[in-house]
Amino acid sequence: MALRGEPTARQMRLGVELRRLRDAAGLTGREAAALLGVSSVQINQIESGLTGVSEKRLRRLAAHYVCTDEAFVDALVAMATARTRGWWEEYRSRLPTPFLDLSELEHHATSLREVQFLYTPGPLQTEDYARAIYSDRTPELPLEELELRVRHRMQRKVILGGPEPIPYEAVVHEAALRIRVSDRAVSRVQLARLLEVSEADHITVRVIPFDLDGFGGSWTAMTYAGGPVPKLDTVVRDAPHGAAFIDSEAQLGAFRTLFRKVEAASLDPERSRDFIHRLAKEM
């Protein structure tokens, strides 16, 4: 297989998981290569996401690594063999790669949970709200790139619709609802958008109010993307300039705990809608 110039986050994640399996089995790259009858360079390329791996070879490696988790191996095979070219491909070479990686991750996610303290979550933003955020970037973006980023963010909303939408839960701090990234009119429309989407059965919006007692150590914005199996969950730290992907088991466990704490501290969905409605009337 030809080498990839710039592997995607999904391709690199597959390689990382294969390397973790090899390390757990106590095998070197040279030993793994001997099992497949290839060079150690090829094993390194597979584990770096620079080249793909066939289903047959992947299953052989998993067997040699004594991985008995069939669901996990099947999920890795799906990652290795899927040939998805989604809507985000139109932005390749036009936007930074992390933007495309985020869209691909959301496309394959089985659920999404998001925590935001300063901004409305990306998939829930209105066009004017998103444009205001990108316009405030330093250094300023050229107009064409700014509009590309806004359009890309608007297209990410596809994860919230369709015949089989995935569960989406957003926990938003009151600060994010009150900060006017543009003007009063844009804020009102943005709050109305939150009320609208929160009515969908698969979308949950929760609010953390300012007057909550005992909430002082969980100020970490994140998106938690559920994978086909828990081992393939991913945490994304999203920001206007791109995204960082976190996938180590220890960190995933910490972020699961964090989300549970933040969720427990928030208002329930009905009280959250009432809160947003009152805030919109104040604007």
| pLDDT tens track for 190-233 | 999 999 999 999 999 999 999 887 676 567 789 999 999 999 99
Q: Which tokens go with 62?
A: 């998993």
Q: Is the pLDDT of residue 242 over 60?
A: no
Q: Are 122 and 153 in contact (CB under 8 A)?
A: yes
What is the model's pLDDT at position 137?
83
CA nearest neighbour of 3 among 38, 59, 50: 50
- State residue 239's pLDDT score: 53
**Domain 88-282 - what CATH class?**
alpha beta
Per-residue model confidence (pLDDT) at position 2: 67
pLDDT of residue 212: 81
Same fold, 9-81 and 88-282: no
Start-to-end Cα distance in the chain: 57
Band of pLDDT at residue 283, cut at 50, 70 and 90: confident
Confidence band, pLDDT 50/70/90 cuts, at residue 254: very high
- Specify the residue for token string 């989407």: 197
Please give the pLDDT value at position 238.
60
Write down the pLDDT at residue 218: 62
CATH architecture group of domain 9-81? Orthogonal Bundle (1.10)
The domain segmentation of the chain, as residue ranges, is 9-81, 88-282
133-186 pLDDT, tens digit per residue, is: 999 887 899 999 999 999 999 999 999 998 889 999 999 999 999 999 999 999
Residue 240: pLDDT above 60? no
DSSP for 137-173 reads -SSPPPHHHHHHHHHHHHHGGGGG-SSSPPPEEEEEE
User: Residue 253: pLDDT band by 50, 70, 90 thresholds?
Assistant: very high
Q: In this predicted structure, which of 39-48, 50-59, 134-143 has the lowest mean pLDDT?
A: 134-143
